[in-house]
Amino acid sequence: MRPPRRFEPDAKSPRLARTRVGDRTELFTETVGDLPSVYGERWVHLRGRAFRTFEPARSKLSAGLVHGWTGPLPAPGERWLYLGAATGTTASHVADLVGPNGSVYAVERSPRPFARLLALTGRWPNLLPILADARDPRVFAGLVPSVQGIYADVAQPDQVEIVRANAELFLSGPGAGVIVALKTASMGRHRTAPAHLEEAERELAHVVRRVPSARLDPFHKGHYLIGGRARPELFGAAARRPVTLVRGSRPARRRS
């Protein structure tokens, strides 16, 4: 397929491009994978490079970028831990962003979506699937090295605590990236969505120096992208404590 007009590199990532289609922004990632498409996205080729559309209606990370997310993004050559990878829709785009010299450790606990994720990794060699529960990072600690970032989409009441337990164990150091696709509907009906967001931001502030959160409506109702860069206080002998298992209900169904 021919590339769109004004197909321009994005300032946020050398492996991200964008164009304008009418009054909307269309995003693309330079892919490390092979056809066929993952979820029906369009592929284009430009000067020997293959790109595919990064659909905001299918990916919360893309929706955040469309809404001006200013926080960390996976960069070429980095290792990222992806919690709640589901069938791999967004995880495959994160793998595109870290490029062929980077790695994405994709954790999913449900066997059915994991089977589809596993099949996908045959075409994305830097996407490494792990069948495990993100609530107990010690179970897969031997499979994941230190990482430069965590992306989480776990749709649980204690989403931030799950992220913190993994951050304490796996993040490489101060400045490492943390991105959370926050689903406020999974946090209970005793507060409004803005109140849940405020609570999650307050909890996450113990882990990262936050950037402004991005509301993901209308693409993902009641969702926000929150995160930032890891605080120095999270590291060092004085800050280290045994990783706490996070207990709770079974994960809600979600789209990656």
Q: What is the pTM of this model?
A: 0.91
Give the mean model confidence (pLDDT) for residues 151-155.
Answer: 95
Q: State yes or no: pLDDT of 154 exceeds 50.
A: yes
**Structural class in CATH, domain 64-234:** alpha beta
Q: Is 160 helix (H, G, I), strand (E, B) or coil?
A: helix
What's the token pair of residue 64? 């955040």
Q: Where in the chain is the domain with CATH 3.30.200?
A: 8-54
pLDDT digits 0-9 by tens, 23-33: 888 999 999 99
CATH of domain 8-54: 3.30.200
Q: Give CATH 3.40.50.150 domain extents, the chain.
A: 64-234
Q: Which residue has tokens 């999650």?
A: 200
Structure tokens at 17: 């491009």
User: Residue 244 carries which DSSP code?
Assistant: P
Give yes or no for a contact between 50 and 43, defined as CB atoms under 8 angstroms apart.
Answer: yes
Chain segment 168-203, per-residue pLDDT in tens: 999 999 999 999 999 998 887 778 888 999 999 999
Indicate if the pLDDT at residue 84 is higher than 90: yes
Measured CA to CA, the distance from residue 149 to residue 77 in angstroms comes to 12
pLDDT at 188: 78
With b for 16 or more beta-carbon neighbours within 10 A and e for fewer, the 156-168 pattern comes to bebbbbbbbbbbb
